[in-house]
Structure 1
Amino acid sequence: MEIICLIGKSGTGKSYRAMQVASLYNIDCIIDDGLLIYKGRVVAGVSAKKEKTKMAAVKRAIFYEDEHRRQVKEKLNELNIDRILILATSLNMVEHITEALNLPNKYEVINIEDISTKEEIETARRQRLKEGKHVIPVPVFEIKRSFSGYFIDSIKNIIVRDNKKQNVEKTIVRPTFSYLGKFTVSETVIKNIISYIVERETDALKVDTIKLDNREEGIEVAIYVTVKGLCTLNKLAETVIKKIKEEFEHITGINIINIRFIYKDLKLR
């Protein structure tokens, strides 16, 4: 197995450049901050960016915990890949990762300074220090369930692979160990936002009660409504649910696992 390492200090833009390097070396598999990423999908691991302290994040990134290490090793064996890109802050970190995952200890090293300008590195550092932004080289939909309740954004770039242009999306998060990380939205505010969206979208539904089931990956929502007049309920509910998910997740960063409408009453006009 061939190992390529992208080395750079924390906040210098390694994760931002990961897909570019992977494309250049025709690599499908990336190890970054505790995650095993294969063809743009998270296939194993837990992100160090979810940890509450920097020390816990470091341990997660070098696969210090037995179960985390076992899960990623099993997936690597299953994939049977011949080339991996490892993102790390130092050669010492690379050695910890390769030892933990039983990977070869011979590797090619690329320094972030070799592929990014001083200005680009300074911009990345400024975004990390002043805004607490961290990049994960996967699309938002791959990671948002794991980061429900965090500030999440996305960036898109074009890379060339096999002489074809590809749009690549990366996710930006603010972890709990940055000064802007996970935040809390009260249940009252959540219910008010959902109720407002429902009654703004249609006057055929009156919200009576909203019940929430909080889970680590997000919330499940049950909306009890009174139906006012005759309408095609299934189609209406589908439209309103789509609107709630789009707007609520954009406003709060909280992932909605599912939404159910429960019809309590029917009032004919």
Structure 2
Amino acid sequence: EAATVDHISKGRFDFGIGRSGLTRYYQGYNIPYDESRSRFAEALEIITKAWTQDCFSHHGDYFSFDNVTVVPRPYQHPYPPMHVAVSSPETFEAMGRLGHSVFLNSNTPIPTLQERLALYHQAWKEAGHSGTPEIGLRIPAYVAETPDRARSEPEASTMHAIRYGAQTLSASAATPEAAARMMQLASVPYDEVLKRRVMYGTPEAIVERCQALHEELGVTCMVLELNYGGQLPMERVIHSIRLLTEKVMPVLK
């Protein structure tokens, strides 16, 4: 399916993949979450084989098959750019060794991301990969003409997302202590959320923030959540997108 989209878009498709930190996604398939890391690594190996070999076999810890052909082959060679969602230090290092681009989460403090990106870049170089890797960031964004509007208009929707996320993480936590830590997220003040977890502001402020993230983390691409929490009226979302495309993107190009 991913290769088909790559053909339909004539090579404008990027492939994003991650193993998730929520245990409930594994419980639904009756798969122990303890196996998530090794299963993800094996799945990544299989996907790479499928996109680079006309016919391949695989015998791993979880999957086994012989003489498999996957069609269509990707439009891009050898396959679409692969962006892997990363969180733990081990995953940063592993993706550096494999030469895959990474996607960061805005919930992680910048100093922590800088430390883990250092591990990633070191592993990238030690593995002999050339060039500079893409560093992606997923972050909620909202653009308005004034700072007050950029702050107030998305507040209710944003805090809804924070509370829902805390409840979801708490329900999937492995221990009662971890669940309690997750629920503490629901009480984070909005001003704190604005400082480091979202990107809200005037077009000029958004440009400055993007440039700062590039300097601090080497961010080269972003996935913007333009209705964080899903509670914003559609006309406000469209207006924010218009400001983003007309006043932010041309500056960053």
TM-score w.r.t. length of structure 1: 0.26
Structure (1/2) with the larger strand percentage: 1
Give 1 or 2: higher helix fraction.
2
Q: Which has the larger radius of gyration?
A: 1
- Normalised to the residue count of structure 2, the TM-score between the two structures is 0.27
